[in-house]
Amino acid sequence: MGKGKLAKFSDMDAFENVFQYTYGVWSETGKPFEKKGQWSSYFGNNNPIVLELGCGKGEYTVAQAELNKDKNYIGVDIKGARMWTGAKDALQKGLKNVAFIRTSIEMISAFFEKGEVSEIWLTFPDPQMKKQNKRLTSTGFLRLYQQILATNGMMNLKTDSQFMFTYTDELIKANNIEAVERITDLYASAKANDPVLSIKTYYEQQWLGRGITIKYISFRLDDRKNFVEPDVEIEYDSYRSFGRNARTILPQGKQKEPKTFKQITEYVREHLAKVKFKTKPEGLYEPIAYELCEIGGKRLRPAFALFACQLFCGDIKPALSAAIGLEMFHNFTLLHDDIMDKADKRRSKPTVHCVWDENTAILSGDTMMAKAYELIAQTKPKQLPAVLRLFNETVIGVMEGQQYDMNFETRDHVTIDEYLEMIRLKTAVLLAGSLKIGAICGGASKEDADALYEFGIGVGLSFQLCDDVLDVYGNTEVFGKNIGGDIVENKKTFLYLKALELAKGTAEETSLISWFKKAEFDRQEKISAVTAIYDRLDVRKVTQLEMDKQYEDAKKALEKTSLSKEQKEQLLQLANDLLKRES
């Protein structure tokens, strides 16, 4: 032991704010700790007591004590040489609401009576990735904290470790404990300037200097008798989080960077190409390959699922199989839609039923649906029930929307509200479901997952309204399908319904209804005539206003999430990119 440490230990013996009571001391004396149950006498008040376990140099303990004179703070650590710094600092500053205990955390119940502590802080603890029973938020430690913490007392974890954060998050979910705060990137969140949370210790500054985000989670600990450990695999941190010294610098190139949306989209394309189907009969499987890979698509739904997953756990892999399953289902719906709509082109390529025939297209689509469920079923067991339930709801919603769409073609009267509900089901629920499934796979809370779903609904409605506009005013080469298909098929789109509303009682209304009732007509003549009516009534502008309204609703839903400001901005940028489609 160095002379410096010996000197510090000597100082600690004389510090009036330090109590050294290790297991060795206890075993030698056999005496109970004298301040147990008597801390109010020591501090001279009945103010709440806040513990920092594993306090290190005591920086967080001292800083909190300076901020909140109406609370008493006690730092606990076994390393006396480190604690010396905080103890000396508190004495020099004349802080009377600070004390330190040098002991092991496993002995903490020897120092406090039940209910004597109101709040516990765990600041940058060793995540103990390979030793579950050593993690300071494990079930064993929670039972220990119950012995001293007031019922429903607050637990706080501030950590650089994605592993520790995810483990704690999964543990409280497994025990049906609700997080009070759950922040994946503290300094990019609304709490970035919170006086307590923004206290930066020596080690925290090290992590920030290496580009590592700081996570925070808090919850209330009740008096339940039993806890269960989370049954989930958690990826280890990619750096030496337990060393806590200069050697913990991440090796160049080893730090895990979040994937951009573009990178995620390419990742989806690569994995779609790896999905295995049988090779025979060729007439069943070749159309699937054609639909998935040659006709292709923007892969928005799986990319949104993976992006949402990454927002909540820092990785896309937990949602990968579900994301590919969502894209498989989406392409199945497109294949069958093309048959029902008698569409001859999609994304500038001949549709499956035109290249082969309708019967083949139906069978190939059914096979894709089965494959989608197979992929969804590969979700991790803990998330599978929720993901499968949501996927089923999504599938049924899309089918209901398609039926409404077909019904509207032969109905004389359709309201705008009915139309918005139809596109909510047919289009928006799949986008929203993709975001929510990704969030669930990433370990999001129910509140966050639900809010993200509502965000997806608003974006999905705006997207479909944009699609309606492009079907009339888009460029065939850019849009990827023939313009005017909705007009030719007598689709009761928002533009058509709004035109009827604006033209009510005029010759324009009569002309519009007449065009939509004609059994025989020249395709281009009908498209030109109806488009001219739309132009005169300025329905394109009115549709844009409805798009804006739905988008604003989406933004309000996003604000309800616990995502950081930066993460919310990323989602809004993706939504903007989606809605600013080339025409």
Active site members: 126
Round to whole Å and give the CA distance between 441 and 166.
Answer: 12
Round to whole Å and give the CA distance between 570 and 474.
Answer: 27
Q: Which residues of 374-394 are buried (b: 16+ CB within 10 A; e: fewer)?
A: ebbeebeebbbebbbebbeeb
Round to whole Å and give the CA distance between 318 and 379.
Answer: 7
Q: Contact at 8 Å (CB) between 49 and 117?
A: yes
Give the dihedral sign, CA 264/266/270/275: positive
* Phi/psi at 59 (5° precision): -60, -45
Round to whole Å and give the CA distance between 451 and 556.
Answer: 9
Q: Contact at 8 Å (CB) between 218 and 206?
A: no
Q: Contact at 8 Å (CB) between 454 and 569?
A: no
**Summary count for the chain: helices (H), strands (E):** 25, 10
In the DSSP assignment, the letter for residue 107 is G
Enumerate the β-bridge partners of residue 128: none
Give the dihedral sign, CA 283/287/288/290: positive
Enumerate the β-bridge partners of residue 50: 73, 119
The closest of 333, 332, 303 to 320, measured between CA atoms, is 303
For 13, the token pair is 């013996």
Q: Contact at 8 Å (CB) between 295 and 272?
A: no
Number of other CB atoms surrounding residue 50 within 10 Å: 23
User: SS3 of 138, please?
Assistant: coil
In order of 22, 475, 485, the CA distances from 478 in angstroms are: 73, 5, 15
Three-class secondary structure assignment of 264-319: HHHHHHHHHHHCCCCCCCHHHHHHHHHHHHHHCCCCHHHHHHHHHHHHHHCCCHHH
DSSP string covering 461-515: HHHHHHHHHHHHHS-HHHHSS-TTHHHHTT---HHHHHHHHHTTTSHHHHHHHHH
**Lookup result for tokens 């998050």:** 169
Round to whole Å and give the CA distance between 323 and 372.
Answer: 10
Enumerate the β-bridge partners of residue 19: 101
In the DSSP assignment, the letter for residue 177 is P
